[in-house]
């Protein structure tokens, strides 16, 4: 988590692009095409936590899944992009970590060219901190003092400084049996504190990460670029988004699918949501029964600014794990298993 105010808050040009890139990782090398399989016309958007790993432990089914995604030479058979809301680690470090865990080379996205945007003063929130109370105090000080916490103001300014947040996940899955509080829970605390102190609502200049359309549009571009690097001439028409969190992964994929139905630009025509049961969502999870996503009585875990549309929480497919998800996709696309 990074909190920036006037005293230390003039962030470099390209802020929005960096916020989006913090949520997207590109998987796979630029291998030469091999084998007799026709070029793929589909691509995979894979979540990480709860789909590939639980904390530092690889989910065995994820390793099995890549047996179907890699050819005998260890080359990806289809374009794959890892899309995660976690922004507390650099792309290069995450790529190295995934490479060691999955057993093949994962490369980070290449930085985009910088544009000449004017400097902005405000607050950038990327992920839940270790010491919540200290960070909540610091961010509140910056907002209530208009970026000058050393001086203080008699009246809290409103509108306050711009606030950008990436990752609104209320929960995420690590090694523990129960879900862990995510950055969305931290934002909920910040919103409640600000409202309690000022009587006003905290306003976000923008939200990135899943389920925002901005993240999925960026990921679609990475899939197309990866296909071009591999020499696959066929356009990527169908996207399959695999995740464990109904609110971020399923909601976002369905929202993007609706968006694609109304757009003419770009090659993609569909984005199917696939929900796995190895993370936040799991019918056999300990504790009281949880209503199915989108059903009557199910709690809304999304951020207030995204609104609640129950139909977007309904996954196109619910499977046990990534292995089953990959087999489902390959069968639907008519590829040999």
Q: What is the pLDDT of residues 249-292, one digit of tens each?
A: 999 999 999 999 998 777 999 999 999 999 999 765 444 444 55
Q: What percent of the chain has pLDDT over 90?
A: 59
Q: Is residue 337 part of a domain?
A: no
CA dist 97 and 313 (Å) reads 31
Are 3 and 142 in contact, with CB atoms under 8 Å apart?
Answer: yes
Q: pLDDT grade, residue 185 (50/70/90)?
A: very high
Q: What is the extent of the structural domain holding 146?
A: 6-13+114-208
299 within a domain of the structure (yes/no): no
* Judgement on whether residues 202 and 127 belong to the same structural domain of the protein: yes
Least Cα distance to 84 among 43, 129, 29, 26 occurs for: 26
- Among 182, 208, 234, the domain boundary falls at 208
- Given a cut of 90, is residue 12 above it in pLDDT? no
Assigned domain for 75 exists: yes
Assess whether 155 and 80 both reside in one domain. no
**Interatomic CA distance for residues 53 and 237, integer angstroms:** 28
Pair 252, 324 in one domain = yes
Q: Are residues 220 and 89 in the same domain?
A: yes
**Closest listed residue to residue 39, CA positions, set 287, 236, 208:** 236
Rg (CA), the chain: 21
Interval 67-76: pLDDT, tens: 999 988 888 9
Q: Is residue 275 part of a domain?
A: yes
The pTM of the full predicted model, rounded to 2 decimals, is: 0.83
Question: Is residue 162, in this structure, part of any structural domain at all?
Answer: yes
Examine the domain organization and report whether 54 and 99 are in the same domain.
yes
In a shared domain, residues 186 and 57: no
Q: Give the domain CATH number at 64.
A: 3.40.50.1000
Which among 257, 263, 237, 238 is positioned nearest to 314, based on CA atoms? 257
27 lies in the same domain as 170: no
Quick check: is 309 in a domain?
Answer: no
Number of domains the chain is built from: 2
Residue 310, domain member (yes or no): no
- The answer to whether 253 and 241 are in contact (CB under 8 A) is yes
86: left (phi over 0), alpha (psi -120 to 50) or beta: beta
Residue 242: inside a domain, yes or no? Answer: yes
Please say which residue of 173, 208, 243 terminates a domain.
Answer: 208
Q: What angle do CA 161, 164, 43 make, to 5 degrees?
A: 165
138 and 201, same domain (yes or no): yes
pLDDT at 2: 31
Q: Give the integer Cα–Cα distance in Å for 301 and 259.
A: 22
Ranking 38-47, 103-112, 192-201, 291-300 by mean pLDDT, the lowest is 291-300
Instruction: Tell whether 196 and 222 lie within a shared domain.
Output: no
Do 104 and 234 fall into the same domain?
yes
Strands 53-54 and 10-11: unpaired
Final residue of a structural domain among 208, 234, 263: 208
Mean pLDDT for the stretch of residues 227-239: 94
On whether both 157 and 133 belong to a single domain, the answer is yes
Task: Please check whether residues 95 and 244 belong to one and the same domain.
Answer: yes
């Amino acid at each position: 988590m990074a909190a920036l105010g006037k005293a230390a808050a003039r962030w470099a040009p390209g802020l929005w692009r960096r916020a989006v890139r913090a949520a997207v990782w590109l998987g796979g090398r630029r291998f030469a095409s091999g084998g007799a399989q026709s070029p793929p016309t589909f691509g995979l958007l894979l979540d990480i936590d709860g789909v590939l790993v639980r904390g530092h432990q690889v989910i065995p089914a994820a390793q099995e899944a890549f047996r179907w995604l890699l050819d005998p030479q260890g080359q990806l058979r289809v374009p794959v992009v890892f899309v995660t809301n976690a922004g507390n680690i650099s792309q290069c470090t995450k790529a190295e970590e995934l490479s060691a865990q999955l057993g093949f080379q994962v490369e980070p996205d290449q930085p985009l060219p910088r544009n000449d945007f004017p400097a902005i003063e405000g607050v950038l929130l990327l992920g839940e901190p270790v010491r919540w109370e200290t960070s909540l105090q610091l961010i509140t000080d910056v907002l209530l003092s208009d970026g000058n916490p050393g001086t203080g103001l008699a009246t809290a300014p409103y509108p306050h400084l711009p606030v950008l947040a990436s990752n609104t996940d209320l929960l995420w899955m690590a090694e523990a049996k129960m879900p862990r509080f995510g950055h969305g829970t931290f934002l909920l605390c910040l919103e409640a504190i600000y409202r309690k102190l000022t009587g006003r609502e905290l306003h976000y200049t923008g939200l990135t990460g899943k389920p925002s359309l901005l993240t999925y549009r960026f990921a679609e571009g990475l899939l197309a670029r990866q296909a071009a690097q591999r020499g696959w001439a066929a356009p990527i028409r169908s996207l399959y988004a695999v995740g464990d969190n109904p609110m971020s992964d399923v909601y976002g994929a369905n929202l993007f699918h609706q968006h694609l139905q109304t757009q003419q630009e770009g090659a993609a025509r569909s984005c199917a949501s696939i929900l796995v049961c190895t993370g936040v969502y799991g019918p056999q999870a300990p504790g009281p029964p949880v209503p199915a996503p989108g059903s009557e009585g199910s709690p809304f875990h999304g951020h207030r600014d995204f609104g609640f549309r129950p139909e977007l929480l309904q996954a196109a497919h619910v499977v046990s794990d990534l292995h089953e998800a990959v087999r489902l996709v390959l069968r639907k696309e008519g590829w040999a298993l």
